[in-house]
Amino acid sequence: MDFRRGRTSKNRLLIEWTYPVWKPPAPNAGADDSNRTVAVIAEHALSIEQAYELITGGDTRPLLVLRECEKCKGTDHALLNRDLDNEQTVLLTHWFRCVKLPPNVLDEQHPFFNLFKPQQDGTRIPHLFLCSHDGSNKMPLPGDQTQAEVWEAMFSVLEREYQGDAKKAVKELRALLSQFDNVDAMERDLKARLDKEVEKNGPESDKAKKYQTEIADLQKDRNKLFAKERQIRTLARKQQQAAGQSAGQKAPVPADAGK
């Protein structure tokens, strides 16, 4: 039996990284300033409040912030284990805003330097950290942590930030991946049969039309699984529920909850 994940599952098991970049504000030059030399603001370390505002981009999900080093550049090795199954870790990232920063973030003039600035001399600089969207409740991780330690940290953040059982949701999502795999496997088989039939008897044969109908039905089944996935991923945010209740309203489900 082939236990490798299919095309659809592999697409569900991708971390949605964002790569924020600070850009100096454009100079305000008026009509009479055409001949005036305008000073360009040099790159500098933003205040910690400005840094968090920029990397969140208005997203209120908790943050997972990873800094690359020269050894791990272009990989997710600081978060994912190269030898073990990382499915649960990746599925958990969908409830976070995942931010990846370059190795030179440790340069004192880098705009996001203060995100990783040591609080005390001699303190080990973390490779990544988890926190609330405003930078509170920060949980640093060294990059060589065990998978169990990653899960413990991520589940603790989700328990603090979201309503609902994240552990149950992840279990259901992993079961859903297997259902996607079954649909993909059946589709591959039907497409292979269709190709042979078309080559032998043409696309208008009864068998070819039957295979085409069955393939279309499988896509409908896949769409139902997508809808179920969105439903499972939707965990309500605690802070938004509290805000809604204080205003005497039912708290809305955030648009980013299903990401």
Tell me the pLDDT tens digit for each residue of 161-176: 999 999 999 999 999 9
Task: Give the model confidence (pLDDT) of 206-248 as tens digits.
Answer: 999 999 999 999 999 999 999 999 999 999 888 654 444 443 4
Closest Cα partner for 56 from 67, 65, 68? 65
Percent of the chain residues past pLDDT 70, beyond the cut? 85
Strands (E), the chain: 17-18, 63-67, 97-101, 128-131, 139-141
Q: Give mean pLDDT, residues 150-155.
A: 97
Q: Give mean pLDDT, residues 112-133.
A: 90
- Assess whether pLDDT exceeds 90 at residue 2: no
Q: Give mean pLDDT, residues 31-44.
A: 64
DSSP character for 65? Answer: E
- Assess whether pLDDT exceeds 70 at residue 32: no
CA distance 51 to 111: 7
CA distance 212 to 208: 6
pLDDT at residue 237 in the model: 85
Helix residue ranges, H only, 83-165: 87-93, 113-116, 147-161
Both tokens assigned to 176: 């859903």
CA distance from start to end of the chain: 32
CA distance 161 to 238: 6
Task: Give the model confidence (pLDDT) of 173-184 as tens digits.
Answer: 999 999 999 999
Q: Give mean pLDDT, residues 78-94.
A: 91
Q: Highest mean pLDDT range out of 23-37, 103-117, 235-249?
A: 103-117
The HSE-up count of residue 193 (CA atoms within 13 Å, CB side) is 17
Closest Cα partner for 84 from 18, 172, 150, 139? 150
- Assess whether pLDDT exceeds 90 at residue 92: yes
CA distance 16 to 94: 8
